[in-house]
Amino acid sequence: MGSFRDLGVYKKAFELSMLIFKETKKFPSEEKFDLISQIRRSSRSVCSNVGEGYRKRLYPAHFISKCSDADMENSETQVWLDFALACEYMNKEVYDDFVKRSEEIGRMINHMIENPEKYSGKK
């Protein structure tokens, strides 16, 4: 098997994280250490946990644990998106797009959790 960077879920999570990074540049500076920091951190953590889990894929329990962490961070990102919309820092169309992407990422992560053997590299 290739690198974690070859995983569709990693690519989608990385893309969403970068879109969030660009969108949060428009947020008020007063949110720099609050909402901006939190949403960037959680969206980036999805990618890092997928990467870490992939490196531990030969150990199913550890793989599932890291994927579960990725799923948790993905859910946290959705919470911060809710706040960004409620605070009117993000328009509804961008919000809907980001949530749709996040939900797809969540489904992909859950597939990994439910089917760790497909990612083990063993035949």
Per-residue model confidence (pLDDT) at position 2: 85
Per-residue model confidence (pLDDT) at position 11: 98
Task: Note the pTM of the prediction, 2 decimals.
Answer: 0.94
- Measuring CA to CA, which residue among 73, 27, 35, 19 is closest to residue 51? 73
Asked if residue 123 is part of any domain, the answer here is no
Per-residue model confidence (pLDDT) at position 120: 81
Domain count, the chain: 1
Q: Which residue has the tokens 């859910």?
A: 75
Find the domain containing 106 and state its range. 4-115
List, for the chain, all residue ranges whose pLDDT scores fall below the cut of 50.
none
**CA 5 – CA 28 distance, rounded (Å):** 33
Asked if residue 104 is part of any domain, the answer here is yes
Asked if residue 121 is part of any domain, the answer here is no
Asked if residue 110 is part of any domain, the answer here is yes
* Ramachandran category for residue 28: left, alpha or beta (phi over 0 → left; psi -120 to 50 → alpha): beta
Asked if residue 82 is part of any domain, the answer here is yes
- The CA–CA distances, whole Å, from 35 to 28, 62, 89 equal 10, 30, 10
Per-residue model confidence (pLDDT) at position 33: 86
Q: What CATH number does the domain containing 41 carry?
A: 1.20.1440.60
Asked if residue 36 is part of any domain, the answer here is yes
